[in-house]
């Protein structure tokens, strides 16, 4: 009996010692981010994903940090961090208030904050142009900090960026400010085509990973991971992957044309492979291949035309105009031949749609396009820039000559009788390329001149002036 008691005591002692010596379970560190931040941070089938998520995982792996990325409302993420329930915040920008709360890592990701507005309001293009307007912003984001520095801006809190864009379409707000990655992804994902982005970013920023003040051990590990990441091509591969996913301002028709183009190319490759495998040697078979190749070339030519053509007006679309403007600017810089552009916008076009309906509005756009097409020179390139805006690229044309052309078009349009509508007018902005010009600032200059024409009563031509 005594032996049994001793044995029992010995077993209990060994068991309790093992329990006390057992290592505590490791707990993954919590890295929190904004759930409404696609394509940088968002949920896909209940799993955090996005460019930012992949970069954070790469940093954790490089630094051998046991951590997980969790996404939630940004305001809630910051509350949990302040309460000590999280270990880090990802993709966060510095501000005086945040510098008092957190220590920040080395730079994590560079980005642009840009203004988004309705395509009918090109005058909204700088932070100063937002004065007196209603501008959407999420609660607690860095964009809000930028807006709060201008007391003349009425900030409207939006639940997410999609709702913000819908509010711009409805006229509830005038614009919104957000990161370019986020805005362009949302427009592309939901196929929103009547929202434009200001050509010049409002602010270029750098985002970081933030830890609680004084948590030097974790911050050092994160910085170690960032440095190791910069020594490999992992970061570039992630950025390249996600930048290829960003599609901006593309219409449903253009998407269909692009998909059809790719499908036809795949069919062509499949057909040629089958014909090659069968070994077509006879003259009859060679003739069949030649005929099929010619058909494929014809199909490809038609598809190329679809891809660069605006379906409604038959003019070049914005993608073709962008490509042409880039090549003409390169030619201007090489040979110093003058290059000018004209942006024209139909006055009060929204009232035409509201009064007569969109079918009549479409007929006006087609008639407007034909009038301009027949009036410009053979060397000019005309296209539909978006909505009721049209762009003319004028190679080897100085500012004065472009102004004369615009004035001629304005006069023709003013005197023309449009079916069901009667007389309408248009406003014109004219600018010319200078040394150091790029596509963005050339378009911004023309938009600025157009805005002056609108503000001076419409139905007029204005030249861009830097003064």
* Other CB atoms within 10 Å distance of the CB of residue 122: 26
Name the residue among 141, 106, 112 with its Cα closest to residue 211.
Answer: 106
Name the residue among 427, 371, 430, 379 with its Cα closest to residue 404.
Answer: 430
Map residue 101 onto helix, strand or coil.
Answer: helix
DSSP classification of residue 199: S
Helix 318-335 vs helix 439-455: crossing angle, to nearest 10: 110
Residue 83 exposed, middle or buried by CB count within 10 Å (0-12, 13-18, 19+): exposed
What residues contact residue 338 under an 8 Å CB cut-off, 6+ apart? 332, 396, 397, 398, 399, 432, 433
For residue 44, give the H/E element and its range. Answer: strand 42-44
Task: Name the catalytic one among 54, 184, 388, 462.
Answer: 388
* Other CB atoms within 10 Å distance of the CB of residue 170: 9
Name the residue among 411, 413, 287 with its Cα closest to residue 349.
Answer: 413
- Which tokens go with 310? 């605006």
**Alpha carbon distance 22, 12 (integer Å):** 15
Helix 283-308 vs helix 252-278: crossing angle, to nearest 10: 170
Q: Are 223 and 209 in contact (CB under 8 A)?
A: no
* Other CB atoms within 10 Å distance of the CB of residue 383: 24
Residue listed under structure tokens 């040629």? 272
- Which tokens go with 392? 């003319």
Residue 215 exposed, middle or buried by CB count within 10 Å (0-12, 13-18, 19+): middle
Residue listed under structure tokens 């997410």? 160
Residue 388 among the catalytic residues:
yes
Please identify every residue annotated as catalytic: 388
């Amino acid at each position: 009996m005594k032996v049994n008691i001793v044995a029992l005591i010995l077993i209990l002692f060994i068991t309790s010692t093992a329990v006390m010596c057992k290592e505590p379970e490791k707990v993954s560190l919590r890295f929190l981010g904004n759930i409404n931040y696609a394509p940088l941070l968002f949920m896909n089938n209940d799993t955090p994903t996005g460019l930012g998520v992949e970069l954070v995982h790469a940093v954790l792996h490089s630094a051998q940090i046991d951590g997980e990325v969790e996404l939630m409302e940004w305001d809630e993420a910051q509350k949990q961090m302040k309460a000590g329930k999280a270990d880090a915040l990802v993709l966060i920008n510095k501000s005086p208030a945040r510098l008092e709360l957190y220590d920040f890592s080395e730079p994590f990701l560079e980005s642009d904050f840009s203004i988004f507005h309705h395509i009918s309001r090109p005058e909204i293009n700088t932070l100063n142009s937002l004065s007196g307007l209603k501008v959407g912003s999420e609660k607690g984001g860095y964009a809000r900090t930028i807006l709060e520095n201008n007391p003349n801006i009425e900030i409207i809190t939006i639940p997410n960026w999609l709702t913000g864009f819908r509010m711009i379409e409805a006229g509830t707000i005038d614009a919104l400010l957000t990161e370019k990655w986020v805005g362009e992804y949302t427009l592309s994902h939901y196929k929103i085509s009547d929202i434009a982005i200001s050509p010049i970013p409002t602010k270029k920023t750098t985002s970081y990973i933030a830890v609680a003040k004084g948590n030097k051990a974790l911050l050092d590990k994160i910085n170690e991971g960032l440095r190791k990441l910069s020594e490999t091509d992992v970061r570039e591969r992630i950025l390249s992957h996600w930048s290829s996913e960003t599609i901006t301002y593309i219409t449903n028709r253009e998407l269909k044309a692009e998909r059809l183009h790719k499908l036809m190319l795949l069919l062509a490759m499949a057909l040629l492979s089958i014909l090659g495998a069968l070994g077509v040697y006879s003259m009859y078979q060679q003739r069949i291949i030649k005929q099929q190749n010619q058909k494929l070339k014809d199909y490809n030519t038609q598809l190329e035309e679809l891809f660069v053509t605006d379906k409604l007006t038959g003019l070049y679309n914005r993608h073709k105009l962008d490509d042409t403007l880039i090549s003409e600017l390169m030619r201007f810089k090489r040979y110093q031949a003058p290059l000018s552009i004209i942006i024209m916008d139909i006055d009060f076009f929204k009232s035409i749609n509201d009064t007569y309906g969109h079918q009549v509005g479409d007929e006006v756009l087609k008639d407007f396009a034909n009038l301009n097409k027949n009036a410009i020179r053979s060397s000019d390139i005309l296209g539909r820039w978006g909505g009721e805006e049209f762009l003319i690229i004028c190679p080897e044309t100085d500012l004065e000559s472009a102004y004369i052309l615009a004035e001629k078009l304005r006069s023709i349009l003013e005197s023309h009788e449009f079916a069901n509508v009667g007389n309408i007018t248009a406003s014109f902005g004219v600018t010319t390329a200078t040394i150091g010009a790029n596509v963005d600032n050339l378009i911004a200059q023309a938009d600025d001149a157009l805005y002056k024409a609108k503000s001076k009563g419409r139905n007029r031509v204005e030249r861009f002036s830097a003064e």
